Structure 1
Amino acid sequence: MGLFDGKKGVVFGIANERSIAWAITQQLAEQGAEIGFTHLPDKDPARPKNENKVRRLVDPLGAKFVLPCNVQDDEQLDSVFKSIEEQFGKIDFVLHSIAFAPPQDLTGPVYNVSRGGFTTAMDISVYSLIALAGRARPIFNEGGSLLTLTYLGGERVIPGYNLMGLCKAGLESATEYLASEMGPEGLRVNAISAGPVKTISASGVGDFKKMLQLYETFSPLRRNISEEEVGKSGMFLLSDLASGITGETLHVDCGYHVMGGPPLDAFEPKEGSAG
């Protein structure tokens, strides 16, 4: 038997096969979960590029539905959750993997972020979790679990992460407040803070290659995470194995977050290198 046999849930935010949400989805499906999915609405319904990208991944898993969802549109959110209830009745889990900032605001310094860019980034990256939680709450089974994805840049200054760091700080705070408010109903809300993974979102972060090198050099395990590792951790937090965990930000980063400085061997020549 799988950990998710008989359990149903929804994944918001798979972009492609490199998404952390996809890594978690694969683990959920392997454990027997019945899953519905959403995708970014397509500008031209006759050429559904976003829908097709998601369907190519999830249809082989037996996706129960694939719906367009603009998290900035309350009417569309209401429609999506009406469809979820019609399809599933009650649900056991929701995975929130949604973040965005306008590129011109993300790549520059925080002091130069536009008011509009800040508003858009917070709306999509933070408020969307709150919007999903409020709509999911009435249809959750007891023991239901909501999981979101964050990054260390919400706790510490990560050069190049900029505006998204402010968003992740807000997201982690929202996770804690939602955990407190939904806990009396037997519902859990958690976040995973993963090490750097080569996703679409990561492509917008400055010096991403240097970030990967830092993790390989500084983390206690002297390597970066794999997509499978973060996928298994996400599945764990959504499962009954984590029934006593809520309001938590779980770091899956090979221990990088505990380091206050470089390890003593960080700058020693590697074996076989010149010098």
Structure 2
Amino acid sequence: MTAYELEAVFAEAKNQWGTIDFVIHSIAWSPLDELHGRLVDSSLAGFSLAMDISCHSFIRTARLAEAQMKDNGGTLITMTYYGSEKVVNHYGIMGPIKAALESSVRYMASELGASGIRVHAVSPGPMPTRAGSGITDFDGLMDDAVTRSPLHRLGKPEDVGRLAAFLISDWAASQTGSQMFVDAGHHIMA
């Protein structure tokens, strides 16, 4: 989505509703050859494009959402992944990019808090989604998560939705800058 297209989305939201309560950012992308290759072999163009789409788009979204949340506050949520903290085979270029996204969450939580805007990262574990299908041996990654997670299962998209509903509700009014996992406990295991 270009900057112009993103601005058009927020202009239409303002036209339709005046204000917005929350935004969920759930986009990540990398050229396949960059995703499947080694990080040290990534090109500047591929890395920059993946960073722009997967991380900086959330920053641009936050800037545009802020104008429509200033009076009443709101919540911004982005999706991240455990591969930002630990090396996950075949995740390559996306690990450092998701780490930048998570750092951005913390900085934006600090910057936007005075306006009553809360910012969070939700970290689903591996689950059968379109995004996961681009990762080599993703089925093996899911099998490992089931085997190693304390609950011996995968998180489900509905679990992610329930957490997002909580984060945008008044029940989470005192939470911001957090990263929350929806992975059946897989992230706690060594």
Relative to the length of structure 1, the TM-score reads 0.67
Q: What's the counterpart of residue 121 of structure 2? A: 191
Is 1:125 aligned with 2:54?
A: yes
Letter aligned with residue 171 of structure 1? L
Is the 8 Å Cα contact of residues 143 and 240 (structure 1) preserved in structure 2?
no
For the residues of structure 2 that align with 1:76 and 1:216, how far apart are their CA atoms? Answer: 39
**RMSD of the TM alignment (CA)?**
1.1
Q: How many residue pairs get matched?
A: 189
**In structure 2, what is the equivalent of residue 168 of structure 1?**
98
Q: Structure 2 matches for 1:229-244, cutoff 5 A?
A: 229-244=159-174
Aligned counterparts, 1:212-231, within 5 A: 212-231=142-161
SS for the counterpart of 1:249 is strand
Distance of 1:166 and 1:206 partners within structure 2: 18
Q: State yes or no: 1:251 paired with 2:184.
A: no
CA–CA separation in structure 2 for the residues paired with 1:235 and 1:152: 21
Match of 2:33 in 1: 104
1: distance between equivalents of 2:188 and 2:96? 20
Trace 1:32-181 onto structure 2 (pairs within 5 A): 70=1, 73-140=2-69, 141-181=71-111
Distance apart, 1:93 and its partner CA: 0.6
* 1:198 to 1:240, Cα distance in 2 relative to 1, 3 A: same
| Separation in structure 1 between the aligned mates of residue 156 and residue 29 of structure 2, nearest angstrom | 23
CA distance in 2, matches of 1:181, 1:232: 26
Structure-1 separation of matches of 2:156 and 2:133: 17
Moved segments of 4+, more than 3 Å:
none
Q: By how many angstroms is 1:78 displaced?
A: 2.0
Deviation at 1:225, TM superposition (A): 1.3
CA distance in 2, matches of 1:192, 1:177: 16
Instruction: Name the aligned partner's letter for residue 89 of structure 1.
Output: G
Q: Is the 8 A contact 1:81 1:136 kept in 2?
A: yes
Per-residue deviation, 1:246: 0.5
Per the alignment, residue 140 of structure 2 pairs with 210
Unaligned 5+ segments in structure 2 are none
**How far apart, CA to CA, are the structure 1 residues paired with 2:7 and 2:187?**
38
Q: Is the 8 A contact 1:143 1:243 kept in 2?
A: no
Q: Structure 2-normalised TM-score?
A: 0.96
Structure 2 counterpart of 1:8? none
Q: 2:168, 2:136 → 1: CA distance?
A: 31
2 CA distance for matches of 1:75 and 1:211? 37
2:128 aligned counterpart, secondary structure: coil
| Cα deviation 1:34-80 (Å, max 9, x = unaligned) | xxxxxxxxxxxxxxxxxxxxxxxxxxxxxxxxxxxx1xx22222222
- Give me the whole-angstrom Cα distance separating, in 2, the residues matched to 1:252 and 1:120: 27
What is the CA–CA distance in structure 1 between the aligned matches of 2:3 and 2:73, rounded to whole Å?
A: 26
Give the structure, 1 or 2, with the largest relative contact order (CA under 8 Å, sep 6 or more).
2
In 2, Cα distance between the equivalents of 1:226 and 1:120? 29
Amino acid of the structure 2 residue aligned with 1:163: I
**In structure 2, C-alpha distance between the alignment counterparts of 1:182 and 1:244, rounded to whole Å:** 14
Between Structure 1 and Structure 2, which shows a larger proportion of helix residues? 2
